[in-house]
Amino acid sequence: MLTLSTLFIAAALAAQSATPATPVAAPTASGDPVPVVLDVTASVETAPVSSVGDAADDPAIWVHPTNRSKSLVIGTDKKGGLNVYDLKGRPVQSVRDGRMNNVDLRDGFRLGGKTVALVTAGNRTDDTLAIYALDHKTRMLTNVAARPIKTATAYGSCMYLSAKTGKYFYFLANKVGFVEQWELFDDGTGKVDAKKVRDFTVGGQLEGCVADDDLGVLYVGEEEVGVWKYPAEPDGGTQGHSVARAGAILVPDVEGISIAKTGPGRGFLIVSSQGNNTYAIFRREGENDYVRSFRIADGGGIDGTSDTDGIDVTTVGLGWKFRHGLLVVQDGTNDGSNQNFKYVRLDRVLTGKERK
């Protein structure tokens, strides 16, 4: 469903593309365009994670179905578990179940006779698939895994809700270059079980991934190489093709990937370019053409970001500071404190402007 926010963002970026404020840069020797980089600032930052060092990793945004101001951000602490924050960055819940690397969610899962948001993460403590239900009323996570579901060692992961079959899936991206796909289902006792439905090899070290539910596409980041695109359906085959290669735009490591949907089949793919502390925007449709890049700089009393791992985005208006959508990114430095997550207004990111 299109909202005023998505219509505004799409129209504003279309206008900007038609008459760009910044001249289009000449290609580099490799054929890549020189990145056109916009500076934006964060509006909110979360409390730091409790673990020191390289700990915070990946966020997922949950949109409350009836009161958008009660939406949440779930972030991983890969030395301790999952942390849940409100839209002001305040802690709501901490789940200390193990070393969670990447987290993702999909709403609308029928479990035990009610509808919940299904939240998954790769637990590297015991190489299992962590599964939680997020209750719409309590806004709390509850472990609903039917059993210890043994997987390969997860380095990245994401979820997929098939528009074709209505089935829910979990993708695991491995450090040695392969992907596993698991189907998630209610086991009939109010718990969620899983079965592996395919695996395939991409190449080198993988981490960030995101699935486009509407278009049936999986994007996977190969850290030193770039972004790959594969069919997301389990019977879709294992032939992928390159979306963006590491170079002038994406400087290794290629990390978090997320999709900003602005309409049916339209929108943007946002990728964390960790090597130069920027984020690249590509078209969601067609051949995923490059649009431009941005960095998150110091401003408004909040430090900028660097060494970003995971990101997530929603184009749904959440009220308060995020009436036109929200981008959440992990900050690997956080001004010398323990790592945390930064919240950025999506209208700043996609248009370079703020709408009142």
**pLDDT at position 257, please?**
98
In a domain? residue 125: yes
**pLDDT at position 292, please?**
93
User: What distances in angstroms separate CA 199 from CA 103, 166, 202, 243, 323, one per listed residue?
Assistant: 20, 20, 10, 20, 39
Q: Phi first, then psi: give them for residue 13, nearest 5 degrees.
A: -70, -35
In a domain? residue 106: yes
**pLDDT at position 321, please?**
92
Question: 137: domain CATH number?
Answer: 2.120.10.30
**Pair of tokens at residue 3:** 């909202």
**pLDDT at position 31, please?**
58
User: What distances in angstroms separate CA 197 from CA 90, 194, 276, one per listed residue?
Assistant: 38, 9, 37
Q: What is the pLDDT along the chain (356 residues), one digit of tens a residue?
A: 445 455 545 554 444 443 232 223 333 444 566 778 999 999 999 999 999 999 999 999 999 999 999 999 999 999 999 999 999 999 999 999 999 999 999 999 999 999 999 999 999 999 999 999 999 999 999 999 999 999 999 999 999 999 999 999 999 999 999 999 999 999 999 999 999 999 999 999 999 999 999 999 999 999 999 999 999 999 999 999 999 999 999 999 999 999 999 999 999 999 999 999 999 999 999 999 999 999 999 999 999 999 999 999 999 999 889 999 999 999 999 998 999 999 999 999 988 766 55
Number of domains in the chain: 1
Which structural domain, as residue segments, surrounds residue 101? 4-351
**pLDDT at position 351, please?**
83
CA quadruple 249, 253, 312, 9: dihedral, nearest 10: 0
In a domain? residue 165: yes
In DSSP terms, which residues pair with 341 in a beta bridge? Answer: 330
Maximal CA-CA distance, the chain: 60
In 231-251, which positions are buried (b, 16+ CB within 10 angstroms) versus exposed (e)? ebbbeeeeebeebbbbbbbbb
**pLDDT at position 35, please?**
77
In a domain? residue 356: no
In DSSP terms, which residues pair with 280 in a beta bridge? Answer: 271, 293
In DSSP terms, which residues pair with 72 in a beta bridge? Answer: 62
* Rounded CA separation 101/57 (Å): 6
3-state secondary structure of 15: helix
Cα dihedral 108, 113, 119, 124 sign: negative
What's the whole-model pTM score? 0.92
Other beta carbons within 10 angstroms of residue 21's beta carbon come to 8
**CB-CB contact of 96 with 54 (8 Å):** no
In a domain? residue 102: yes
* Rounded CA separation 150/129 (Å): 7
For residue 97, how far is the Cα from the chain centroid?
A: 21
